[in-house]
Amino acid sequence: MKKAAIALTTLVVLLCAQIGTAFADTVLDKTVNELIGTKYKTAGATTSGFDCSGFTMYVFNEIGIELPHQSKSQAQKGNSVDKSDLRPGDLIFFNTDGKGISHVGIYLGNDEFIHSASDDGVVKNKLSEKYYKARYVSARRVIWDDLYDQLMQEAK
């Protein structure tokens, strides 16, 4: 019985260690997760408050990529990406005012993105949510492969 208990305990510890690794935050996750809950502020680009493009500009500056402070201008950077080829770190653009690109977020993978919403501040949502699905316009990749590999590593 004692051997069985030790074996079971060892198995549980090993499984927990593997699960912890499987769900560990990447450098990108750590960078954006620290900003969740930051309030929305028109024209904001600091941790005291962000608008949508100020949020993406701030995050990308933290990882060494300069972006302009306007979603329409950010939509001109990098390379176009099909929705089916999205990867974490891609910028995703929405038409929320009926006049073209007016909102931007950062794709996180698994249908999830993070952005600064005017009502909620920095939050995560699903691309498949009715509101965002209907307003999705395009995506751009501004993180090149060598930097992408670094950002997808487990944060320390």
| DSSP state, residue 84 | G
Cα separation, 125 vs 27, whole angstroms = 20
d(CA 116, CA 53): 8
Q: For residue 103, indicate whether it is catalytic.
A: yes
pTM (two decimals): 0.83
- Identified catalytic residue from 28, 32, 45, 52: 52
Q: Which SS3 state, helix, strand or coil, does residue 5 take?
A: helix
H helices within 34-77, ranges in order?
52-62, 71-74
> What CATH homologous superfamily does 25-151 map to?
endopeptidase domain like (from Nostoc punctiforme) (3.90.1720.10)
- Name the nearest CA neighbour of 135 among 145, 125, 143, 144: 125
In this prediction, residue 126 has a pLDDT band, given cuts at 50, 70 and 90, of very high
Per annotation, catalytic residue among 32, 89, 115, 121:
115
Catalytic-role residue among 74, 103, 107, 141: 103
Identify which has the larger pLDDT, 72 or 14.
72
Tokens 């995703």 correspond to what residue? 92
Catalytic (active site) residue 16: no
- pLDDT at residue 13 in the model: 37
- Higher model confidence: residue 50 or residue 5? 50
Instruction: Clarify whether 69 is annotated catalytic.
Output: no
Residues 76 and 140: their CA atoms lie apart, in Å, by 8
